[in-house]
A = this chain, B = another copy of it.
């Protein structure tokens, strides 16, 4: 699934405790997490007395300069990259959010989505709170400020009991770093060590980027308070069955990350292999939708012994500032981003492997590109099940009625609608078998968008 316009993960978080170059490390960590959000970036550093921060719309490499990093003094820092939300202009919602409250300064960086945010926000409004952003994250800060507990170390765990949904959460005061993960473990969050420093990141690829050693994942329902007295841990909830978002493994996470102890790359390849076993296609070659579907395509090809070929090339320079063609040149839109290699494709029967289909718009265009390039047959294979239900935990799927799987009853009709000779999805069972390998008993992955079984109460 190449199109960022169809499905959107909201954020990446990164934090450092006890390193003289905390802001620099956070810059590199966020850079490694850039795939998790390209709209805004921010870093808050603490020198033990006060905060120094900078955040703005844009990529990490555009938001920060050497001068700015140099001003972000201190041995602690947290950072955030974020995907856009509708209707905002200006970056008021950029994270980490920074507040002053009765106990001092507070910075909050959050990846996820609270299902009871609107409810809690309304309660807070009734008690006289004012909000400056439309974020769930600001709700967390308000709850903290209103906690009956006076000390941050006591108030922070209390607040976590009130919020429901998905959250990989970093909070920072002048001297403390607080880390927590929702009780279902819906979002990934890993800890690392770098000499005497503690590092925390949404994905292990960011730990690798700063040469930190992977220590362990934060557990569902767990919190950690890190300050000069050491690391204190606790639970704000009994560990429920772990339900990490399966889309992280299928699409969001970077291939070189390890999630839940498993290589993302290996999982994707295995999904491709399983898909091949379930839904083989008689074809001359396997082509991937670059870049996220390459591992699944390799697995699919390997399993069936069909060659994997580079039939589609992505223009690496398509970014946020790209000027989309106006009406008269509209038909160019897809080919400016992706190009089919005629010499590879022409006259061939193609298996096009993608990791997921949401609305099907992009798939239809890509099938069209392959047809134009002379493909004899195009068989689309998807290395995950049909997406039928919306996500309430931070993934902006299309509206339910726009989902391809809800517009057609049968795979065959779906396939026809995107112009493919055949279309087949990985089975839910097939996916579970791959994802559940190595999980502790009772744990599984959240498959709500595929099967409608939501791990949390909904509001």
Contact = CB atoms under 8 A, between A and B. Distances in A.
Contacts of A27: 323
A255 B316 contact: no
B316 A316 contact: yes
B66 A323 contact: yes
A357 B266 CA distance: 30
Copies in the complex: 4
A248 B319 CA distance: 25
A263 B24 contact: no
Nearest to A211: B332
Given A99-B130, A294-B310, A336 B32 contact: yes
Given A99-B132, A101-B130, A263 B344 contact: yes
A79 to B, nearest CB: 14
A313 B255 contact: yes
A118 interface: no
Interface stretch (A53-61, A231-239, A401-409): A53-61
Contacts of A209: 315, 332, 335-336, 339
Contacts of A25: 329
Interface string A15-49: 00000110011011001101100000000000000
Interface in A132-179: 132, 134, 141-142, 145-147
A286 to B, nearest CB: 12
B298 A254 contact: no
A331 B127 CA distance: 49
Name the 4 nearest CB pairs between A and B, nearest first.
Answer: A128-B146, A263-B343, A102-B125, A99-B130
